[in-house]
Amino acid sequence: MNAIYILWLRQLKRYLRSRSRIVGSLGQPILFLVALGFGFGPVFQKAGAGNYLEFLAPGVVAMAVLFTSVFTGIEIIWDRQFGFLKETLVAPVSRLSIMIGRTAGGATVATLQGVIVLVIATLAGFRPVSLWSVIPAILIMILTATLFTALGTAIASVLEDMQGFQLIMNFLIMPLFFLSGALFPLSNLPGALEVVVKIDPLSYGVDGLRQTLTGAGYFPLSLDLLVLCGVTVALLVLGSWLFSKIQI
């Protein structure tokens, strides 16, 4: 337990010390909120779908959680190249404890980033259905962050260097976001796209946030939680196994 706590604290301190990283990672969510929220707002309203900013904000929060958590998991590649990972792996603790500590730290960092974006969205005009709705929304953020930190760890465990990172971004992370329903409603989609959306685990994170924060969702909240918990457990097991195979 001490090793898990130390690694969790190390990830958190690394995040808090990097002010440029905190500010830089807010650029894209703010751009989406302003450019899309206010740009497409009139079109969305004319279509009779209501306030687009209210619809978009949970998706932008989920985007912040997704990118931060995956990047935190992929930091393993950076640590491997500069020798930091070797120092951790030779410590007299199990690799499972190391993986759990890093994942917990990454999930905490991603959740904090999601909360910051939620505050910014509120300043931009977004209003949750109630103050208490933020509590279950944070739970959804934690589950989503843990899921994608574990995914990032699994990916980083099989990549040798950062050259494959752009490939992962273009063919995995960006499709996960754009096909999650973060930017568009899930009702009345073409059949093939509807299947893809239902396979995308981020869809359930976005829907869970939208349901808790605005009261409007596509899936039942129980299904959102079930899918997020199930996929998180599966990726934690896969990530732990792949992490244990890393050669030093």
What sign has the CA pseudo-torsion 153, 155, 158, 164? negative
Q: What is the tally of structural domains in the chain?
A: 1
Spatial separation of the C-alpha atoms in residues 178 and 212, rounded to whole Å = 21
Note the pLDDT of residue 208: 93
Residue 138 structural domain: 2-244
Note the pLDDT of residue 218: 87
Query: What are the mean pLDDT values of the chain's consecutive 10-residue runs (248 residues total)?
Result: 66 65 74 78 66 86 89 75 67 72 85 91 85 90 92 81 71 87 82 87 93 88 93 87 73
Note the pLDDT of residue 182: 86
Q: Measured between alpha carbons, how far is residue 226 from residues 21, 86, 100, 178, 196 in Å?
A: 32, 36, 21, 22, 18
Note the pLDDT of residue 229: 93
Spatial separation of the C-alpha atoms in residues 241 and 228, rounded to whole Å = 20
H/E/C letters for each residue in the chain? CHHHHHHHHHHHHHHHHCHHHHHHCCHHHHHHHHHHHHHCHHHHHHCCCCCHHHHHHHHHHHHHHHHHHHHHHHHHHHHHHCCHHHHHHCCCCCHHHHHHHHHHHHHHHHHHHHHHHHHHHHHHCCCCCCHHHHHHHHHHHHHHHHHHHHHHHHHHHHCCCHHHHHHHHHHHHHHHHHCCCCCCCCCCCCHHHHHHHHHCHHHHHHHHHHHHHHCCCCCCHHHHHHHHHHHHHHHHHHHHHHHHCCCC
